[in-house]
Amino acid sequence: MKQIVIIGLGNFGYYLAKELSLKGHEIIAIDKSQLKVQNAQEFVAQAIVADATDMMALQSIGVDSADLVVICIGSNLSDSILTTLNVKDMGIKKIYAKALGESHGRILEKLGASEIFFPEKDLAMVIARKIHNPNMIDYIPFIEGYTIVEIAPPKHFIGKRLRDMNLINQFSVQIIAVKDVLTDVVNIVPTGEYMVKDSDILILLGKKENIDRVREIS
């Protein structure tokens, strides 16, 4: 369990605080708005009304003892920048910061934020991938040029053994695991004798363009 401080309880910060709390982390939620703080009180360890641009306010809360600080301040650019500077000056090593755009992100990076995220951009990319590839269940970035992708097996694969599909030789794509969605059983590195079922999800490793070729199989 980590102690995580979330600064800014707009929609993104609110749901992030809630989800991390459900996963068992100790969440300290901070916002200027009394109403937003009240809304988060029921599921976080502490919900505090404070101005994060005030270094003394952050120190009084004990932000410097947190394992991680996530700055989710929305439209106020100056508040975001000053809060990031304050948190960095307090010695926090892991700082995640929400950016409104590329230039804002570069500023936050130079101020010492260890991770920059663009919620709207990132979500748009995920949705675009799902629209472009409707049979894609999930997508995980891997090393440059390669991805690990979960896909529902094309109908042509159902009832076939993995060795008969021969994806590694035909497409240079490796099936690294198979998950049965009905039982949640995951078969890691399945053998060539494994027969694909319609309840399976295939987890593939390969270059994006090669995985796209597999997905296009009817």
Task: Enumerate the H helices of 45-175 as residue ranges.
Answer: 55-61, 77-89, 102-111, 119-132, 162-165, 167-171
Distance, in Å, from the CA atom of 62 to the CA atom of 69, rounded to the nearest integer, reads 12
Lowest-confidence pick of 29-38, 141-150, 198-207: 141-150
Locate 216 and state its tokens.
């296009």
Residue 140 pLDDT: 60
Domain 133-215 of CATH type 3.40.50.720 = no
pLDDT for 118-153, tens place per residue? Answer: 988 878 877 787 777 666 666 665 566 778 888 988
Residue 106 pLDDT: 93
Residue 35 pLDDT: 96
Residue 139 pLDDT: 60
Q: Is the pLDDT of residue 91 over 70?
A: yes
On whether the CB atoms of residues 68 and 1 are closer than 8 A, the answer is no
Locate 65 and state its tokens.
């003892």
Distance, in Å, from the CA atom of 59 to the CA atom of 203, rounded to the nearest integer, reads 46
Q: Report the topology of domain 3-120.
A: Rossmann fold (3.40.50)
Domain boundaries, the chain: 3-120, 133-215
